[in-house]
A and B are shown apart, each in its own frame.
Chain A
Amino acid sequence: MSFYFAQFLTGLASASSLFLVASGLSIIFGVTRVVNFAHGSFYMLGAFIAYSLVTSLPPGPFWFWGGVILAALTVGVVGVIMEILVLRRIYQAPELFQLVATFGVVLLLKDVALWTWGPEDKLGPRAPGFDGAIDIFGSRVPEYDLVVIVVGFVVLAGLWLLFSRTRWGALVRAATEDREMLGALGINQALLFTGVFFLGSVLAGLGGAMQLPRASVSHHMDLAIIATVFVVVVVGGMGSIVGAFLASVIISELNAFGILIFPQITLVLMFLVMAVVLVIRPWGILGRPEDETAGEEYEHQSLSWLPSRAARLAMAGVVGVLLLLPFVVQEFYLVLMTEVFILALFAASLHFIMGNGGMISFGHAAYFGLGAYGGATLLLYGDTPMLLAIALAPFVAALGAAVFGWFCVRLSGVYMAMLSLAFAQIVWSIVFQSSGITGGEDGLVGVWPAEWASERQVFYYLTLAVTLGGILALWRMLFSPFGYSLRAGRDSPRRVEAIGIGFRTHKWLAFVIAGTFAGLAGGLYGFAKGIVTPTTLDIPRSIDALMMVLLGGVQTLVGPLVGAFAFVVLEDRLLAFQYWRAIFGLIIIGICIAMPEGIVGSTRSFLTRRGLVSSGR
């Protein structure tokens, strides 16, 4: 019995430290609707800064806690700087742009931390006065765990008081519940948002600083926590503090007890919980349904997508150049372009649901990866010929998309994005931990093209043909009645139902189609690399796809392709630099601020303004 109580306390301590970070993210999201990827980086910064402060200040409890609090406040200032310098400039852009910008901040801060603190893990001191363990019903429980639990409850109570007893808190609550009311009340929105970012970042910093006595500070803390925190915030209900607390407790306790029964399931468990909660309660345990009319606010920036005659000629010209490429460039550039083609198809498949259907997927890599694993499995275990394996790979992805999509299309906006992320993570976890079939982390190897296609030029042409076919098919579908129905639903869900079109079914079919083509890209990718590893379906891969689409221009036809090209070339060029992440991050932030319509969209707007091209209709 005592053991279970000790395990419960352990879980509660984990929950408490998780809550500190999650509550900050939840508040930020609730008010500003920004999905702040940099929140994990703030957590990491909090830990690093606290390490520096605590190890350089005099020993003793006063300076220890002083250092922790100072670290949290410093991180708060960093959050404010990000809000003012980056986010404030792009609140008007589509909400995903803010997400991509904060991802740029993640990359930047990672290198800032590397530069400042060096590459090695840092082990901070234990908390003075709480460095032992006490006996509770015969089990030894670390004193510091109890401190963490107390701090968690104190923060919960503090936030509750702040939101229920102060004017500022009332404003934050009002903003969370009804954004339009803010304007009506004549509130200085900029100041409120900055304040919210300060508070949220302080909480992240505090969460990081509080970890100092528990684990070493490392450069991997940022991405390690961000997925978990997203889960907590989504499960609890975005914007709900108490919800975040409940979700933290549920997930941490499930983990604490889960490892006793299924020691190998830890990775999957959390995402399973999220998927189940979202399926039953789409807005989280204590979340509020999104405003029904939210979909109507969609900015209809899309001009005529159907390419003009001149544009079609230009595209044909590009294809012509690509056909001649093997005769003029070094083989390596064929390898690079092969990758561009595959990722372009992948990005185009995401664009199919995002640009046209207004659906956001944070887990599109799942279908890319399912295609890759499907093709590889058929080849390695079924001795399937390469072409057949590539042809069948999309069906594996389609199956996954059909099952997961069925749940995803019942939600919208960020909730749909999060559910798609949860499903992708479930697939990733299963693949990662089932070494017997999937090769685990090492992946499946020996996925090379058939003898006849093993020359780089041949595979280049094969990839060009397949991806070009795929992209053209996707484009054709965009302009088909089905594609139009999807866009109609995006523009006005009310109207589309009122003309007899079942929007949800259409969304689901679109999700399956997008997954299918992502799977086709994935199938090719395996053969291009000779291996299929879990990185083909992890979170960064999904974010890559989002970045390609958004950086290229979500409301343009060729945007995803240009985005894929830019992405591959940038990555190839930048990896030569020690601080490539910082450079990449700055480029991403720069594009988000300077080119809010993406590379293609902004170029088009620029040319239109100059009267160099006509504005379409």
Chain B
Amino acid sequence: MSELTVSRLSKSFGGVRALNDVSFRLEPGELLAMIGPNGAGKSTCFNCINGQLRPDHGSVQFVGRDLVGLAPRAIWRLGVGRTFQITATFGSMTVAENVQMALISHHRRSRALWPLATRLYRDEALGLLESVSMRDQAERRCNVLAYGDLKRVELAVALAHDPRLLLMDEPTAGMAPKERIELMGLTAQIVGDKNIAVLFTEHDMDVVFANASRIIVLNRGEIVAEGTPAAVRANPLVQEVYLGAGSTYKPEARPAHA
């Protein structure tokens, strides 16, 4: 059985079809990249999966459970981790505490009133930080970190509850090219070890082609191509709608909405 099965997902905003009959599958250990020009529907598709949006039609099956209609935090509980395009961390807390928060929630202790939060699951948190090479910055506060380091913290946070699926929305946005490759390489290595399925969107084609095991290409809310990096690279249709035609895109570009 597939980890994630998206079937016939559709979503409109005020008459504009943002997603039209999108279907795909994701297998354990697979890194699936979703690409497409701005406004292709990537973010909408993402948000329909993670619970931020409710699709008009279609279903999202995660290991046999339908995610449609569930709140983001319920989806998280089922074992879906996520990172944000613009990092979201707890700025007043240390790097370790950020990870500890995720662990506390994972162990359903976020309402405990007595224990000291900083002492809970500390070793586990440090272990996760070790895996993203952030162990040495564990005691720094998040609001003083460099952006690239924040992305690593997010990754550690996303891994805290042993997810089976990771949703990464533009994981390398805002980073220098060298950092991008490093981060996605790190991600690929970790998910490979743990056999986690990853769905990510990405603007940087170098990152995509270097790490993705498979690629789907969205345009105007529809899947126009799907396949291995090599197949997609060779697909003339993709070249036309996406890579060709002089379409410019910036890594920092605003999130596509419709």
The chain A residues found within 8 Å of chain B, CB to CB, are 296, 298, 300, 302, 306, 476-477, 479-485, 487-488, 490-492, 494-502, 506, 509, 617
Contacts and interface: CB of A to CB of B under 8 A. Distances in A.
Closest 8 CB pairs of A and B: A495-B88, A300-B91, A484-B117, A491-B90, A500-B76, A485-B110, A300-B92, A499-B102
B50 to A, nearest CB: 8
Contacts of B160: 499
B246 interface: no
A479 B116 CA distance: 5
User: Most B CB atoms within 10 A — which of A479, A484, A494, A617?
Assistant: A484
Contacts of B88: 296, 492, 494-495, 498
B101 interface: yes
Contacts of B140: 617
B113 A482 contact: yes
B135 to A, nearest CB: 16
A484 B97 contact: yes
A484 B101 contact: yes
A365 to B, nearest CB: 25
Contact of B90 (A306, A479, A488, A509): A488
Given A476-B114, A499-B105, A481 B77 contact: no
A483 B73 CA distance: 19
Given A491-B92, A497-B72, A499-B105, 15 more contacts: A300-B91, A479-B117, A480-B113, A481-B109, A481-B111, A481-B117, A481-B120, A487-B90, A488-B101, A491-B90, A498-B50, A498-B72, A500-B105, A501-B105, A617-B94
Interface residues of B, number: 40
Contacts of A477: 113
Interface string B49-88: 0100000000000000000000111101100001010001
A479 B112 CA distance: 10
B73 A500 contact: yes
Contacts of B116: 479-480
Contact of A506 (B82, B94, B110, B118): B110
Contacts of B90: 487-488, 491-492, 495-496
B76 A487 contact: no
A499 B157 contact: yes
B186 interface: no
Nearest to B160: A499
A482 B111 contact: yes
A495 B90 CA distance: 8
A300 B88 CA distance: 13
Contact of B115 (A302, A480, A497): A480
A491 B117 contact: no
B105 A617 contact: no
Nearest to A489: B90
A509 B113 CA distance: 11
B105 A485 contact: yes
Interface string B149-175: 000000001001100000000000000
A476 B114 CA distance: 7
A304 to B, nearest CB: 9
A501 B93 CA distance: 16
B219 to A, nearest CB: 28
Contacts of B97: 484
A511 to B, nearest CB: 14
B104 to A, nearest CB: 5
Contacts of B106: 499-500
B141 interface: yes
B195 interface: no
Nearest to B120: A481
Contact of A617 (B73, B89, B113, B139): B139
B143 A495 contact: no
Interface of A is mostly: helix
A482 B112 contact: yes
Given A481-B104, A485-B105, A492 B91 contact: yes
B116 to A, nearest CB: 5
B93 A487 contact: yes
11 contacts: A300-B143, A479-B116, A481-B109, A481-B112, A482-B110, A482-B112, A491-B90, A491-B91, A495-B88, A498-B73, A499-B160
Nearest to A306: B118
Nearest to A495: B88
B151 to A, nearest CB: 13
A499 B84 contact: no
A184 to B, nearest CB: 14
Contact of A501 (B84, B89, B110, B112): B110
B82 A491 contact: no
A492 B89 contact: yes
A296 B74 CA distance: 23
Contacts of B114: 476, 480
Contacts of A617: 94, 139-141
A496 B118 CA distance: 17
Contacts of B73: 497-502
Nearest to A296: B88
A482 B101 CA distance: 10
A488 B110 CA distance: 11
Nearest to A487: B92
A557 to B, nearest CB: 13
Nearest to B106: A500
Contacts of B109: 481
B112 A480 contact: yes
A500 B91 contact: no
Contacts of B102: 499
Given A479-B117, A499-B160, A485 B139 contact: no
Contacts of A484: 93, 97, 101, 104, 117
A494 B87 CA distance: 10
Contacts of A480: 112-117
Contacts of A509: 111
A482 B160 CA distance: 18
A501 B111 CA distance: 9
Contacts of B105: 485, 499-501
Contacts of A496: 90, 101
Contacts of A481: 104, 109-112, 115, 117, 120
Contacts of B139: 617
B72 to A, nearest CB: 5
A506 B101 CA distance: 14
A500 to B, nearest CB: 4
Contacts of A479: 116-118
- Which of A484, A490, A500 has the most chain B CB atoms inside 10 A of its CB? A500
A255 B219 CA distance: 58
A496 B143 CA distance: 16
Nearest to B74: A500
Contacts of A490: 92
A41 B138 CA distance: 51
A482 B117 CA distance: 8
B101 A499 contact: yes
